[in-house]
Amino acid sequence: MAELRRRLGRSDAVIVGVGSMIGAGVFSVWGPAAEAAGGYLLIGLLIAGIVAVANATSSAQLAAQHPESGGTYVYARLRLSPFWGHVAGWGFVVGKTASCAAMALTIGAYVWPDQARSVATVAVCAILAINLGGLERTVAVTRVLLVVAGTTLGIVVLGALLGGDDSMMVVATDIDVTPIGVLRSAGLTFFAFAGYARIATLGEEVREPTSTIPWAVPRALGAVLVVYLIVAATALASVPAGALATSEAPLALVVDVGRFSGFGWIVDIGAAVACLGVLLNLIPGVSRTTLAMARRHELPSVLARVDTTRQLPVIAELVVTLAVLVCVQFFTLTSAISVSGLAVLTYYAITNAAALQLATNERRWPKPLAWVGLVGCCVLAVSLPTRAMLGGATVLLIGIAARQLIPVNRRG
């Protein structure tokens, strides 16, 4: 069986992790989060951050013990059972495919709203061309995209800070806030973090994975959490929560009240570039989990083929890209996020459950952190809007039911 080549170092892994998170979430999540929690959205962000940290430590220490492509699909099979491995793998494939569609549609909405689906289609095809050039090219392009996205966020924050006292308004209290609303805000904000497992899914392509992955995952997540806290605090200090809740482009609103008023178009460009960066890293992540499932005959075996020239799972990459293109044509941005939400939280809940099975000498972080992640994922999942829970649960059940049709002797 052909294997992937280990080519990524520590800094590459961090770049991949950060590039998988700094995307549509940081440019769009503050509106829905403010609608749910008002001025308390910072509490929701911290809750989401705590759950993400717990999930990250579980992912990192499992990846160090099982350095191969597939992420929690592999960990759950080995630590829990093949059934839970399939649920995790299917949840990741479904959730991240929907996330890819959401990213692509966001690009279209910012670049050319009247032709959003067409722009999204072109973006997905361009990402495929870059990824087929090899993982080194993916990391190199991700570095450039991160610079653009980071510069854009810097302009947003700096413009607000230089706007004077008139722009730094007191946080509004015009939204009725409940504990459920704060939890829902956390669940929505968690979407902006869901990307750090991308490093773990590259376990077969990272040099010295037992040390590189545990080193890179918390650093990537920590850097992103700091950025999110700065951006969220700036948004709340600049614009009333009620105004954020009604805006489809909350950071453009922040720019409009700051020193750089009239330069909201910079945010449009930055948001599109950041989404491209996430898309660039998510599609390969889904293809690696698809590869791992196909190797165990839980998906068609043809998806397990690795191109010996490029050292890439080309067929899996093409099929995942096709699935994203189909979602782009039929999903709205809201429905894509809805399908993704429950699937991703299910994936991470299983990650934490698998981490609870680690022996003492295999642990790099305290066991209670895995319990925090498991309980946190379950709480955030049930706090999501009802439509999100029903949509995600339906797709997950379809995948679980389909598995029962596969002969036991072919599951591996």
pLDDT in tens, 274-316: 888 778 778 887 888 788 888 888 888 899 998 877 778 899 9
With contact defined as beta carbons under 8 Å apart, do 39 and 182 qualify?
Answer: no
Q: Does 36 score more than 80 pLDDT?
A: yes
What's the confidence (pLDDT) of residue 203?
57
Confirm or reject CATH 3.90.50.10 for domain 10-405, answering yes or no: no
- What rounded mean pLDDT belongs to the chain? 82
Q: In whole angstroms, give the CA distance from residue 308 to residue 311.
A: 5
pTM for the predicted model, two decimal places: 0.81
**pLDDT at 389 exceeding the cut of 60:** yes
- For residue 171, pLDDT over 50 is answered with no
> Is the pLDDT reported for residue 222 higher than 50?
yes
DSSP letter string, 30-86: HHHHHHHHGGGHHHHHHHHHHHHHHHHHHHHHHHHHS-STTTHHHHHHHHT-HHHHH
Q: Could you report the per-residue pLDDT of 352-364, keeping only the tens digit for each?
A: 999 999 999 999 8
* d(C-alpha 92, C-alpha 73), whole Å: 8
The predicted pLDDT at position 411 comes to 53
In the predicted structure, residue 250 carries a pLDDT above the cut 90: no
pLDDT at 172: 44
Question: Interior CA angle at 117 toward 232 and 92, to 5°?
Answer: 60
Please state, as a whole number, how many other Cβ atoms lie within 10 Å of the Cβ of residue 366: 10
Q: Is the pLDDT of residue 246 over 50?
A: yes
Is it the case that residue 346 has pLDDT exceeding 80?
Answer: yes
The answer on pLDDT for 219 being more than 90 is: no
Closest CA to 358 of 350, 367, 368: 367
Give dist(CA 126, CA 147) in Å, integer.
Answer: 19
